[in-house]
Amino acid sequence: MLPAVRAGAAGYVYKDIDPPALAAAIRAVHAGHVLLHPDVARLLSTGDVQPAGARLTAREREVLTELAHGRSNREISRIFAVSEKTVKSHVSAILSKLGVQDRTQAALHAVRNGMADT
């Protein structure tokens, strides 16, 4: 939920919302209002939200840096002396934690957020 808000979503509701409430939410956001489920609003107001990159482990940050430099899983596995399967696991965790769909989006996130400079 929070990756969507971080990406600039103007509205967020849970998928089990009833149809009339969903229609009203869509109309409200279309009219320029911000509509967040109370759980999301509470997280944002209490400051419990960490930047996406802050949740990555040290190794995941290292792998993300290599992704941003255009390295393949095989190349990354050689750099860190681990199996390709281990790298794939790290990449999957990175995608999940950053809330992105693929390694290209993860690399772009790293570049935009200064995580690929090292």
Query: Hey, which CATH number is domain 52-112, 1.10.10.10, 3.65.10.10, 3.40.50.150, 3.20.20.300?
Result: 1.10.10.10
Q: Say how far apart CA 60 and CA 31 lie, in whole Å.
A: 40
Proportion of the chain above pLDDT 70, given as a percent: 80
Whole-model pTM: value is: 0.56
Q: Say how far apart CA 33 and CA 64 lie, in whole Å.
A: 35
Q: How many CB atoms lie within 10 A of CB 89?
A: 14
For the chain, give every domain's residue range. Answer: 2-46, 52-112
Judged against a pLDDT cut of 70, whether residue 102 lies above it is answered with: yes
pLDDT at residue number 6: 66
Q: Say how far apart CA 78 and CA 28 lie, in whole Å.
A: 51
Kindly state the tokens that stand for 97.
Answer: 């934690």
